[in-house]
């Protein structure tokens, strides 16, 4: 009778420990999955917003020297998302400008305004992206801290030793299955170990804050005028 009660208690303790671990793992894996989905969304955001704004500006400036001056002026890395084929492709040019609203009374004025407006849009998109980047970093660090805290409060080696002490038979010391039996500590640690999420900086590019348009309007306008002269002279 006492042995039966001991077995029941042993089983209940094992089950509680297993439920605690697997419950924690499930919560963390769900958090990691949600983080991965947000990272993928931001990757799409870069392509559909930031990259598109830059491509428009690159196409309008066209000249590589002017593009390099632009990147230096606004504080972006050299050749960020630059591709000569993209700049020169008529098909891509048509696609990236098909939904753009143009303002101005003269052709030259519309051209300059298009560059200014594209850059203003870029500044906004980069600012929004940087805010989201910071939020994702915070989420990643929170998950890491939750994992560390859990393992600090639940030492796997001590728990394994406690589980082994509950069962004196040699057969039960070798495995713990889904039903709650014991397994060796290496297998249990491997099964229960939760890997932290990858650092956000390894998954998404860190884009620096851009200089506001009001601070460089005159210089950017001069670049736009130079670009217009070059494109006007070409056949």
pLDDT 10s digits, 63-108: 999 999 999 999 888 778 888 888 888 888 888 888 888 888 899 9
Asked whether 28 and 142 are in contact (CB, 8 A), the reply is no
Lookup result for tokens 């630059």: 82
What's residue 112's pLDDT? 94
| Confidence at residue 119, expressed as pLDDT on a 0 to 100 scale | 96
| pLDDT over threshold 90, residue 147 | no
Judged against a pLDDT cut of 60, whether residue 212 lies above it is answered with yes
Q: Is the pLDDT of residue 171 over 50?
A: no
Return the pLDDT at 176: 45
112, 104 contact by CB (below 8 A):
yes
d(CA 197, CA 184): 27
Share of the chain above pLDDT 90, in %: 47
**Structure-token pair, residue 232:** 């006007």
pLDDT band at 148 (very low <50, low <70, confident <90, very high): confident
Helix (H) or strand (E) holding 131: helix 107-153
pLDDT confidence band for 132 (50 / 70 / 90): very high
Mean pLDDT computed over 22-28: 80
137 phi and psi angles, rounded to 5 deg: -60, -40
pLDDT band at 186 (very low <50, low <70, confident <90, very high): low
Q: Whole-angstrom Cα distance, residue 156 to residue 161? A: 9
Q: How far apart are CA 56 and CA 119, in angstroms?
A: 9
- Name the token pair of 202: 């390894």
Is residue 169 pLDDT above 50, yes or no?
no
Distance CA(232)–CA(235), nearest Å, equals: 8
**Cα–Cα distance measured from residue 56 to residue 223, given in angstroms and rounded to the nearest whole number:** 14
How sure is the predictor about 123, in pLDDT bands with cuts at 50, 70 and 90? very high
Token pair for residue 93?
A: 């040019």
């Amino acid at each position: 009778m006492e042995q039966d009660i001991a077995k029941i208690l042993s089983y209940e303790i094992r089950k509680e420990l297993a439920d605690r671990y697997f419950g924690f793992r499930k919560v963390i894996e769900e958090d990691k999955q949600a983080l991965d989905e947000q990272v993928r969304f931001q990757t799409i955001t870069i392509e559909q917003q930031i990259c598109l704004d830059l491509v428009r500006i690159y196409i309008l400036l066209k000249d590589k020297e002017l593009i390099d001056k632009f990147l230096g002026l606004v504080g972006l890395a050299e050749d960020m998302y630059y591709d000569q084929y993209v700049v020169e492709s008529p098909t891509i040019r048509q696609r990236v400008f098909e939904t753009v609203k143009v303002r101005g009374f003269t052709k030259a004025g519309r051209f300059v305004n298009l560059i200014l407006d594209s850059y203003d849009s870029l500044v906004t998109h980069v600012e929004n992206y940087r805010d989201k980047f910071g939020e994702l970093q915070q989420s990643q660090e929170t998950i890491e801290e939750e994992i560390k805290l859990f393992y600090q409060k639940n030492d796997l080696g001590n728990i394994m030793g406690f589980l082994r002490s509950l069962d004196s038979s040699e057969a039960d010391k070798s495995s713990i299955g889904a039903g709650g039996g014991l397994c060796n500590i290496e297998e249990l640690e491997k099964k229960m170990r939760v890997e932290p999420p990858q650092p956000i900086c390894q998954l998404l590019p860190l884009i620096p804050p851009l200089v506001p348009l009001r601070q460089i309007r005159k210089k950017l306008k001069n670049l736009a005028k130079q670009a217009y002269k070059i494109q006007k002279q070409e056949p």
